Amino acid sequence: MSDLIVIGYENPQNARQAYEQVQRLQQDFVVDLRGLAIVDVDANGKTHVDTPQRIIGTSAAGGALFGLLLGLLFFVPGMALLGGAIGALMGKLNKSGINAEFRNRVEHLLEPGHSAVVIMASKVTEDRFASAMRPFNGVILKTSLSESDEKELAEELATA
């Protein structure tokens, strides 16, 4: 099972500091990352995504799944362009914890000028993670993907 955590920030500098903190928490074994990204929305509403390749590259399937989730959550060009398979993938997402309500909440976090840290983790030490992230004053959204949801999404992605 993986947790998908999106932490929204009104201040891009706080988001960048939180992003760096998550990387330190990975090194301290507080979080076991399967994917990490920082998403910035500029004043014109354009989305920019930055990912540390050394974390996302842990497995091809995990990296592809995280890329898919980023693309679908933030409509990132190139990350979710899967042709006719997009409808099937959206259907699978709606059956998982990443339903339309969760996506809508994420969308409302990212107004122009705002940023978010997106984390996909197989393990999180909740109390230590929350304590380490508190100083950055973000709004946290969290959902979980069961192992079967992840497997179905990865299989759907592989056939797309």
User: Model pTM?
Assistant: 0.80
CA distance 90 to 69: 10
Residue 116: DSSP 8-state: E
Domain that holds residue 82: 2-159
The series of mean pLDDT values per 10 residues for the chain, 160 residues long, is 90 95 95 90 88 56 66 57 49 65 84 92 94 96 81 64
Cβ proximity of 123 and 48 under 8 Å:
no
CA distance 26 to 113: 27
The candidate with the shortest Cα–Cα distance to 18, out of 146, 151, 147, 129, is 129
Q: Residue holding tokens 């990204």?
A: 37
